[in-house]
Amino acid sequence: MTPFVGALVAAREHELRALRRRLHTHPELSWQETATTQMLVERLRVAGLDPIVLNRGTGLVCDIGDTSRGSIVAVRADIDALAMADLTESEYRSRVPGVAHACGHDVHTAIVLGVGLVLRAMSEQGDDVPAVRLIFEPAEESMPGGALDVIEEGWLDDVAMVLGLHCDPRLDVGQIGVRGGAITAASDIMEIDIAGPGGHTARPHLTVDLTKVMGRVLTELPPAIVTAADSPEQVTVVFGAAHAGDAPNVIPARASLRGSVRTADVETWDRMEKVVESELASILAGTGATWRLSYRRGVPPVVNDPMATEVLRAAATDVVGSSGVVENPRSMGGDTFAWYAQQVPSSYARLGTHSGDGPRLDLHASTFDVDERAIAIGVEFLTRAVVDYGSNEIRSDSVRPR
């Protein structure tokens, strides 16, 4: 492989940082990423490439190299932002009220664009560039996510492997986390509506004390689900919203609860809806309340393919050294990258973005930001991974022929 990858990345680092800041200043929500999509299309065309926008009008794919040879490796970025306020004080903070890149998707986008620009430059200087497909996925924050559109439009049909990364503020810049097997969890949403006759707080014995019933559900349902799932270390149930009534002397007639159900085990995920329904019925039996459960399956767990993970591990070692490669813990967060991993061998890494100073703000924090030195590291890391794969320095027997 060319020894000049680092130099090619360094020559584009200023541009990629500027593009990331432009995205951060002008974030767009899921399925609304029109300006982001157009910006990427224009830059890729300037590089002499031929990007194709997805059918819904946001998100795009772009091929590099001779894709007719097969063994295409895809590199994925997500491009949407979150519906939340940006409370940072940076000069590039969001100018869109209530919308912010607080999950690092702007960084992912800049990195995958950088991979494309570097591979294009390598091709122009005569290097043997593997067949690569850049995927800029829309609506990762919207279940079930834009990854399904990518798949349904056939952009994985001739792909042998998908690689990706995610910002990780728990890791310092210069660290890359890798992990085989499940790295994220399935993420489902349950909405529970409970009803009763209502009444006066002076006479709760004459009606259904709905706030008391709601309290039972809030406290008893999560541990009951975890126990019934028979995999307590792999299931998390948390309520994020609960509402009943408005007046202190009125027993309400309606209560609503919303929460998330997460599991890192695919088989457990397949039966979680029935488990939730059964345990909820048991808790509410005899209370006199009626209820309705709305259960929405989200994304499956991201399960990293072992050999694809070794491709990333080797590239990470090349870029940050063995001391910079860490075994990434499993996250109970969800990610639409999981849909790719269900189709072809795939692996998802974590990119350290913390400067080493100050608090380690979590993803989705209102003041989340990254140390931008991570961008160049991410570009070189993924570029080396795809070039190593394409040049047979590392090949997986588990990669299915196309």
> Of these residues, 86, 140, 380, 388, which one is catalytic?
140
Report whether 259 contacts 148 (CB < 8 A). no
Cβ neighbourhood burial of 242 (10 Å; 0-12, 13-18, 19+): middle
3-class secondary structure, 102 = coil
Cβ proximity of 328 and 347 under 8 Å: no
How far, in Å, are 25, 133, 152 from residue 55 at the CA level? 26, 17, 10
Q: Helix or strand or coil: residue 62?
A: strand
> How many Cβ atoms from other residues are within 10 Å of residue 95's Cβ?
11
For residues 362 and 367, what is the distance between their CA atoms, to the nearest angstrom? Answer: 9
Catalytic: 80? yes
CA 293 to chain centre: 26
Beta-carbon contacts of 91 under 8 Å, excluding residues fewer than 6 positions away, are none
How do beta strands 132-137 and 72-78 pair?
Answer: parallel
Give the ranges where 144-265 is alpha helix by DSSP (H): 147-152, 210-229
Beta pairing class for 199-200 and 52-53: unpaired
The answer to whether residue 50 is catalytic is no
Catalytic residue among 80, 188, 265, 380: 80
Burial zone of 269 (CB within 10 Å; 0-12 exposed, 13-18 middle, 19+ buried): buried
DSSP characters over 310-374: HHHHHHHHHHH-GGGEEEPPPPS---THHHHHTTS-EEEEEEEEE-SSS--PPTT-TT----THH
Distances (CA, A) of 389 to 94, 308, 309, 337: 37, 9, 11, 20
Question: Could you give phi then psi for residue 226, rounded to 5 degrees?
Answer: -60, -45
Active site residues: 80, 140
